[in-house]
Amino acid sequence: MSYSAPPETVSFHGLLFDMDGTIIDSTAAVVKHWHTIGAEIGVDPKVILETSHGRRSIDVLKILRPDKANWEYVRNMEGLLPKLYGKDAVEIPGARALLDSLIAANAPWAIVTSGTLPLVTGWLDVLKLPHPEYLVTAESVKNGKPDPACYQLGRDKLQLGSGAEKDVLVLEDSPAGIIAGKAAGCKVIGLVTSHTLEQVVAAEPDWVVRDLESVNMVSCEGGQVTLQISDALVAAAVPK
Rounded to an integer, the average pLDDT of 77-83 is 96
Full-model pTM: 0.92
Domain assignment of residue 184, given as a range = 8-25+89-237
**Cα distance from N-terminal residue to C-terminal residue, the chain:** 16
Q: Give 166's pLDDT tier (boundaries 50, 70, 90).
A: confident
Asked whether the predicted pLDDT for residue 170 surpasses 80, the reply is: yes
For residue 221, list its beta bridge partners: 224
Please identify which of the residues 18, 25, 173, 206 carries the catalytic annotation.
Answer: 18
* φ and ψ of 54, to 5 deg: 85, 0
DSSP state of 132: P
- Is the residue at 186 inside a domain? yes
Q: For all residues of the chain together, what is the average pLDDT? A: 94
Count of domains forming the chain:
2
Please identify which of the residues 20, 59, 206, 211 carries the catalytic annotation.
Answer: 20
pLDDT for 236 equals 46
Asked about 147 being catalytic, the answer comes back as no
Task: Give dist(CA 87, CA 160) in Å, integer.
Answer: 37
- Is the residue at 33 inside a domain? yes
Domain boundary at 45, 66, 88, which? 88
> Do 69 and 130 belong together in one domain?
no
Asked whether the predicted pLDDT for residue 232 surpasses 60, the reply is: yes
Is residue 203 within 8 Å of 178, Cβ to Cβ? yes
